[in-house]
Amino acid sequence: MENLIEFLSLSDPNVRYVVLGMVLLGICSGVVGSFTFLRKRALLGDAIAHSVLPGVCLAFMIGGTKNPLFLLVGATITGWLSLIVIDFISNRSRIKPDAAIGLVLSVFFGVGILLLTSIQGSGNAAQSGLDKFLFGKAASLIGSDVWVFGILCAVMTLVVILFFKEFKLLSFDPDFAHSIGLPIRLLEIVLATITVLTVAVGIQAVGVVLMSAMLITPAAAARYWTDKLFKMVILAAIFGAISGILGAYVSYTETAMPTGPWVIVVLSLIAFFSMLVAPKRGVWAQYVIQKRNQNKIHQENVLKLFYHIAEKGDQQFRAARSLDELLSRREFPTSILKRTLTALTKKELLDKVGNNQWKLTDEGEERGKRVVRLHRLWEVYLTKYLRIAPDHVHDDAEAMEHVITPELEAELDKLLDYPATDPHDSKIPR
C-alpha cells in the first residue's frame, strides 16, 4: 500500500515521466489505432514499426546526438518511405499487399539492424542506449521526451477530432466517400502521417517489436464493447491509458520488470477479458445467445411435433401425448426432449398430465400452428419462385421456420397469394 501511494503521488520525477509518457502514448495509440484496426491495416502498423529503425539510426549518424525530436524526424521519414514503397509494389507489380508489407518490413528492419551494428562499432560514446529502440525502455524517458509525447499526442488527437467524420467514412465506406467528393487520397495521407508519427513516438518506450501491438490491441479490445465509432475511440484511449499506468506500476514495484512489455501484457489481458465477457460480442455472450437460439428451436420443434401428431392422426390437438409417443414420431435426444418439455410447461405452452404426459395449451397450440404455417409457406416460396423440386425443400424450410418475422410472414403470404396447401398438398393452417 505504501508503494502504491508513493507511485500514485508521482513525487519521484522518474516515475512521473514514465507514467505520463506511457499514458500519453496509450491514449494516442488507442485513438489513431482505432482507424488502422477498422481499415484492416494491422500489418501496416507492424511494417511501419520495423521501418522506423533505420530512420532513427540515420538521424543519429547525421546529427551525432540522441535528441528525441531529431530522432523522431528520421523515424517519420523512413516510416513514410516504407508506406510509399508498399504502395508502389502493390500497385505496380503482381505482389499482393500482405506480401509487399512483409517484404518491406524485412528489408527496412534488416537495414536498421545493419546501421545499428555499425553505430555500435563506431566508438561514439553518445550511441549508448540506442539499441533500446529495438525493445524499448520506458524507464529511460525524461522530461523532454514527455513534452514531445504530449505535443504530438495533442496534435494527433486534434487532427482526429477535426477529420473524424471523414476518417469514419474512409474506414467504413471509401467508395461512398469518393462519390460525394471527399479528397480520399489526401485523407489517406493525413491518416497515414499520424499513424507513422504515433509509431515513431512509441518505439522509444515499447520498442520496434511491440509497437504494432500498442497500436492495434486497444482498438481490438474496444471493438468488443461497442458498435459506435466514437465510443470505440474513447474506450481504446482509456484502455491504452490504463495499460500505461498499470505497466508502469508493475515496473515500479518490481525493478527487474521492464515497463514496455508489461504495458503490452496488460493490454493483452484487457483484450482477452473483453473477448470473454463483453456484451453481444464476447465469447460468453455469444455462447448465451447460441444456447438461447438452440432452446428456442427445440421448443418450437416440440410444439410443431404436437401439432403434427394431431394433424396426421386423431385431430385432437389438445390430447395428451406421452414421452414415448413423441420420441416415436421424431428423433430427439431423450435428455433434450425432457428439458424442453419442462421449459414449455414453465412457459405455460404445455400442461403436464400425470407423470409422463403433456398436452398443448391455447397459446401452445397457436405457437405450434404458426411454426407449421411458416414451414409450409417457405416450401411454397421455394418451389414457386426458386423452382426447387418439392422433395428438396424440407431442410431449408426446417431452418427458415425459426427466423421468419411476423412482418416477413405477412409479406410472404401476400406474395404467394395466400396459398391453401404446400407443395406436398398439406393444408397451411390459418
Query: What is the SS3 assignment for the chain?
Result: CHHHHHHHHCCCHHHHHHHHHHHHHHHHHHHHHHHHHHCCCHHHHHHHHHHHHHHHHHHHHHHCCCCHHHHHHHHHHHHHHHHHHHHHHHHHCCCCHHHHHHHHHHHHHHHHHHHHHHHHCCCCHHHCCCCHHHHCCHHHCCHHHHHHHHHHHHHHHHHHHHCHHHHHHHHHCHHHHHHCCCCHHHHHHHHHHHHHHHHHHHHHHHHHHHHHHHHHHHHHHHHCCCCCHHHHHHHHHHHHHHHHHHHHHHHHHCCCCCHHHHHHHHHHHHHHHHHHHCCCCCHHHHHHHHHHHHHHHHHHHHHHHHHHHHHCCCCCCCCCEEHHHHHHHCCCCHHHHHHHHHHHHHCCCEEEECCCEEEECHHHHHHHHHHHHHHHHHHHHHHHHCCCCHHHCHHHHHHHCCCCCHHHHHHHHHHCCCCCECCCCCECCC
Give yes or no: residues 211 and 354 share one domain: no
For position 123, what pLDDT does the model report?
64
CA 48/CA 408 separation, integer angstroms = 49
Residues 358 and 236 in one domain: no
My answer on whether 52 and 178 are in the same domain is: yes
Grid coordinates representing 19? 507514467
Range of the domain at 331: 282-430
CA–CA dist 137, 97 (Å, integer) = 32
End-to-end CA distance of the chain: 71
Q: Which of 251, 278, 305 is the last residue of a domain?
A: 278
Q: How far, in Å, CA of 220 to CA of 212, rounded?
A: 12
Domain boundary among 236, 253, 278: 278
- How many Å separate Cα 244 from the centre of its chain? 21
Tell me which long-range contacts 292-295 makes (C-beta under 8 A, separation of at least 24).
293/402, 295/340, 295/343
Last residue of some domain: 278, 309, 326?
Answer: 278
Q: Identify the pLDDT of residue 61.
A: 83
Domain count, the chain: 2
Q: Which three cell numbers stand for residue 311?
A: 394433424
266 and 306 housed in the same domain: no
| Structure confidence at residue 418 (pLDDT) | 93
Q: What is the CATH number of the domain that holds 160?
A: 1.10.3470.10
| Residues 261, 390 within the same domain | no
Other beta carbons within 10 angstroms of residue 34's beta carbon come to 28
Please check whether residues 233 and 290 belong to one and the same domain. no
Distance CA 409, CA 370 (A): 10
* Mean pLDDT of successive 10-residue stretches along the chain, which has 430 residues: 72 81 90 90 82 86 76 86 88 85 89 85 63 70 80 89 92 88 88 87 79 90 93 95 89 80 91 93 93 94 92 82 89 90 94 88 93 94 92 91 92 92 90
Q: Are residues 66 and 53 in the same domain?
A: yes
Alpha-carbon torsion 287, 292, 293, 299, what sign?
A: positive
- CATH code (residue 353): 1.10.10.10
219 with 328, same domain: the answer is no
Single-letter code of the amino acid located at 11: S
| Whether residue 336 is found in the same domain as residue 379 | yes
> Using CA atoms, how far apart are residues 3 and 6, in angstroms rounded to an integer?
5
pLDDT for the residue 19:
87
Answer yes or no: do 106 and 14 share one domain.
yes
One domain, residues 109 and 134: yes
Give the Cα separation of 149 and 133 in Å (integer): 16
249 and 268 in a common domain: yes
